[in-house]
Structure 1
Amino acid sequence: MDLELEDTSALVTASSSGLGKASATALAREGANVVVNGRDADRLADTVSELQDVGDGDVVGVQGDLTEKDDIEHLVERTVEEFGGLDTLVTSAGGPPSGPFLETTDEDWYDAYDLLVMSVVRTVRAAAPHLAESDNGTITCITSRSVKEAIDSLVLSNAVRMSVVGLEKTLSRELAPDVRANSVLPGPHETSRIEDLIEQAIERGDYDSYEEGLADWAEGNPLERIGDPIELGDTVAFLSSPRASYINGVALPIEGGQGASNL
């Protein structure tokens, strides 16, 4: 299916690795011009080099910290300067520390809110005027399945990420019809973070092999596996495309049916 994204412009935050990188990859593969973002200069450069080989569009790396307002504004400005406008915004950010409620501090809460919520608020605020000028302005927020069902020892993610979905739903009404806004709620995907966690568990003696660790992560999933990051990326690309022109205000779980929630 042609997603009609060739020669469009996209900005994907926190996209030098993980699900943000997968989303940027899927957009680049469809011919979009993509700005990727990260804090680590070397990792960002590697991502740019890798993505330049997957599609015909331009790929530009912009270093920046999503907890810094000036960095976010520069990120959006640079995208518009490079590509002459902005059609697609995908917001992503790393996860907050794990731990139970009674072990989290006020600082942990404020840091999680700044990273997960204010990064989206500031990025959308800077991008909205440019998205409104597009023929297909879209926002897709990558959050977590934890907004549907609380996950043990992830109180910060469980509580704070729900604000992003509330924001996305509000944007889907306030910015329409010029801009559509949706969110995706991923379960476990085989990102470098999952790979690192499994390798650490092997070193501790929890697993005998990587395959055993991967199977443990997939326990209880009807599809008997965890996701490939590009499966999430392809979904983001579809939601960003004219093919999804009547999908607005949706929070879409992408977790193989693992969740037990009816809605």
Structure 2
Amino acid sequence: MDLQLAGDAALVTASSSGLGKASARALAAEGANVVLNGRDEELLAAAVEDVRGDAAADATVLGHAADLTDADAVEALVRRPVDEFGGLDHLVTSAGGPPAKPFLETTDEEWDDAFDLLVKSVVRSVRAAEPHLRAGDGGTIVTIASISVKEAVDDLVLSNSVRAGVVGLEKTLSTELAPDVRANAVLPGTHETARVEELVERGVREGEYDSYEAGLDDWAGEIPVGRIGDPMELGRTVAFLSSPVSSFISGVALPIDGGASASNL
């Protein structure tokens, strides 16, 4: 299916690895011009080269290092695709996860940091991007959150609590920015990202698993489809939600978890 993204301009925050990178790769493969973002310049440069390898022939892929908790840096980040590509059609927001802790071990500072990273980074990005998204033929925002929005995960009180605010923001944007801009969220479950690979490999070293494949099987034990996700499956969903092909979809928070969550809604 042609997603009709060729020549569009996209910005994907926190995309030097993981699901953000997969989203940037999927957009570039469809012909969109993409700016990737991360804080580690070396990791970001490697991600840009990887995404360029899969990009459509006419797509331009660039990197822009910026800290999403720095308001001025976010302003400059959003200006980059506008300066390079003449506008901004698609914003994909992502951010690293907060520390895994139970409630009674979580400090006020960690609550503040999680809100700044997960919610205010989206607020800053959307605020800066809004006039550019409105100026095109149909701007989109896709927020990468977590399945923890639907179903709380043990010892992830920060993600369970704060990411829900991101989805509340996304739902609000879907009405306040309509009809010029559509806003949706994706709620990933377990995917084979570098973080999961690291945890499984640690389990192999410590004797918890006989092999990497056995570790993946264990992680997939309660997922109805029988495996964990490929990051590109989420990335292609983000590209679809950014495309005119999904033009009647807005205000949705879409679980992408292989059916693992027990939530009815």
TM class by shorter chain equals over 0.9
Given the alignment, which residue of 66, 73, 76 partners 2:75? 73
What is the number of equivalent residue pairs in this alignment? 263
TM-score normalised by length of structure 2: 0.98
Corresponding residue for residue 45 of structure 2:
45
Asked whether the equivalents of residues 14 and 38 of structure 1 are also in contact (C-alpha less than 8 Å), the reply is yes
1:110-125 alignment runs, 5 A limit: 110-125=112-127
Corresponding residue for residue 23 of structure 1:
23
TM-score normalised by length of structure 1: 0.99
**1:148 partnered with 2:153:** no
Gaps of 5+ in 1: none
Cα separation, 1, equivalents of 2:167 and 2:49? 32
1:1-263 alignment runs, 5 A limit: 1-54=1-54, 55-56=56-57, 57-263=59-265
1:44: how far off? 0.8
Cα separation, 2, equivalents of 1:240 and 1:246? 11
Report the 3-state secondary structure (helix = DSSP H, G, I; strand = E; otherwise coil) of the residue aligned with 1:253. strand
Cα separation, 1, equivalents of 2:88 and 2:220? 37
Cα separation, 1, equivalents of 2:176 and 2:219? 39
**Structure 1 runs of 4+ with >6 Å offset:** none
Identical positions, percent: 67
Cα separation, 1, equivalents of 2:80 and 2:99? 30
1:204: how far off? 2.4
1:203: how far off? 2.2
1:53: how far off? 2.1
Q: How large is the RMSD of aligned CA atoms in angstroms?
A: 0.7
Cα separation, 1, equivalents of 2:209 and 2:110? 31
Asked whether the equivalents of residues 25 and 51 of structure 1 are also in contact (C-alpha less than 8 Å), the reply is yes
Please say which of residues 207-216 and 155-164 is displaced more in the overlay: 207-216
Cα separation, 2, equivalents of 1:201 and 1:68? 36
Gaps of 5+ in 2: none
1:202: how far off? 2.0
